[in-house]
C-alpha cells in the first residue's frame, strides 16, 4: 500500500522530510509515525489528504500523510 509522507518543522531532524513508503499492512497514523522514526508525543498536528486527523485514524492507500509539530495560530 503506497503512501506519501511529509514531515514539517523541527520533527525528527535527521529523518528525510519527504518519503514514499509502501506499507505492508493497513496502519493508522500512529503506526506510520513510529515507522518513520517519530515519537507520537512529538506530533502536534496530522493531516491525511489535507484533512486534520488523529493518531488512531487509518491511513488509506495512496494518501498523503503529513506530520507537524505542535503549532498554534498566529
Task: Establish if 15 lies at the interface with other proteins (CB under 8 A).
Answer: no
| Residue 49 CB, nearest approach to other proteins (Å) | 9
Task: Establish if 69 lies at the interface with other proteins (CB under 8 A).
Answer: yes
Q: Measured between alpha carbons, how far is 17 from 57 in angstroms, rounded to an integer? A: 21
Task: Establish if 31 lies at the interface with other proteins (CB under 8 A).
Answer: no
Task: Establish if 8 lies at the interface with other proteins (CB under 8 A).
Answer: yes
> Which of the stretches 19-27, 28-36, 65-73 binds other proteins when contact is defined by CB under 8 A?
65-73
Neighbouring residues of 72: CB distance < 8 A, sequence distance ≥ 6? none
- The single residue among 32, 52, 59, 62 that binds other proteins, judged by CB under 8 A, is 52
Task: Establish if 1 lies at the interface with other proteins (CB under 8 A).
Answer: no
Given the DSSP bridges, would you call strands 2-7 and 64-68 parallel, antiparallel or unpaired? Answer: parallel
Give residue 37's region: left, alpha or beta (phi > 0; psi -120 to 50): left
Q: Measured between alpha carbons, how far is 72 from 14 in angstroms, rounded to an integer? A: 24
Amino acid at each position: 500500500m503506497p503512501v506519501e509522507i511529509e514531515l514539517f518543522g523541527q520533527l525528527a531532524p535527521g529523518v528525510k522530510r519527504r518519503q514514499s513508503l509502501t506499507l505492508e499492512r493497513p496502519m493508522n497514523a500512529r503506526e506510520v509515525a513510529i515507522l518513520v522514526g517519530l515519537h507520537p508525543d512529538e506530533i502536534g498536528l496530522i493531516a491525511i489528504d489535507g484533512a486534520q486527523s488523529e493518531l488512531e485514524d487509518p491511513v488509506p492507500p495512496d494518501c498523503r500523510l503529513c506530520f507537524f509539530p505542535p503549532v498554534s495560530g498566529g
